[in-house]
Amino acid sequence: METTLQSASKTVVIGPERPFCIIGERINPTGRKAFQAQLQKGDISQLEIDIAEQVAGGAHVLDINVGDPLADEVGLMRRAVVRAQELTDLPLCIDSSIIEALEAGLEVYQGKALVNSVTGEDERLEAILPIVARHGAAVIALANDDEIPMEPQRRYEIARKIVSAAGDHGIPPEDIVIDALAMPIGAEPRAAVLFFETLRLIREGLGVNTTCGASNTSFGLPGRHGLNAHFIATASTHGLTSAIMDARSPACVDGAHAADVLHARDEYGMGWIRTFRARQAAAAAAAG
């Protein structure tokens, strides 16, 4: 199954036979005081830096999140989506917990966006799915409802419920990307094992594309980039087809690209070689 995303001029396809889709996560004020203060003043200039870094790192899609409880998130999302589409031709993932912000982003977006996200509660489904359908967008569906289940079977059942509800709204399964819920190993030692098992159930039972916040796994641990990189590659082997991850991290990007080479989605390692040469050229340019 393939999920097609579009900007005004570019198409990106997520699927098991496609290169692992890197959704650049950094356009997000979480944990960043200076960026939060700027957003509260209506200043979105930081986007220019964050977008340039994610694009340079090799992101295929950019996650845009301007969530700050003290800022006008709806107005900011509208402006952020317009600005991002001026700065890059990559398709966007519109990330907010506020339905009006998702809608505002979709209203100004040119192309077919990825909406992040819907969950399994009936009232969230009934509020968000019609907006996704009306805009012909794709949507990330978190495999949780009002609680976050740890059992893979329970996550799978929520995913199945969401795919079914989406169908009722005219949204085909290929436009649903299930977030199988990567959780901190520091809180649950079997978090990654349960995540991989959830991927298997979704792949076999639904066949839809999947994603996760890849850095959640290493939360609270040292050496996060190395662990995230191996998590991404291992998860790819278990069927994960995309991840929301930091494309500034060469280790994490290598994890995704290595999975492509090993699973024969990058013939003769041509993409791997291209990335290597581009980094060499960038290092040479930086050294003057």
**Residues making contact with ligand THG (CB under 6 A):** 25-26, 28, 30-32, 65, 95, 116-117, 140, 179, 212-213, 215-216, 244
Using the minimum distance from each CB to ligand THG, give the nearer residue, 38 or 215.
215
Using the minimum distance from each CB to ligand THG, give the nearer residue, 142 or 201.
142
End-to-end Cα distance, the chain: 46
- Count Cα neighbours of 185 within 13 Å in the Cβ-side half-sphere: 12
Using the minimum distance from each CB to ligand THG, give the nearer residue, 176 or 261.
176
SS3 72: coil
Q: What is the CA radius of gyration of the chain?
A: 18
Residue nearest to ligand THG (CB): 213
Using the minimum distance from each CB to ligand THG, give the nearer residue, 56 or 270.
56
Residue 244 beta carbon to ligand THG: minimum distance, rounded to whole angstroms? 5
**Cβ partners under 8 Å of residue 25, min gap 6:** 54, 63, 213, 215, 244, 245, 246, 247
Q: Which residues of 153-165 are buried (b: 16+ CB within 10 A; e: fewer)?
A: ebbbbbbbbbbeb
Using the minimum distance from each CB to ligand THG, give the nearer residue, 117 or 241.
117
Residue 116 beta carbon to ligand THG: minimum distance, rounded to whole angstroms? 5
Residue 204 beta carbon to ligand THG: minimum distance, rounded to whole angstroms? 22
Residue 41 beta carbon to ligand THG: minimum distance, rounded to whole angstroms? 19
Residue 125 beta carbon to ligand THG: minimum distance, rounded to whole angstroms? 16
Strand partners, 138: 114
- Count Cα neighbours of 142 within 13 Å in the Cβ-side half-sphere: 22
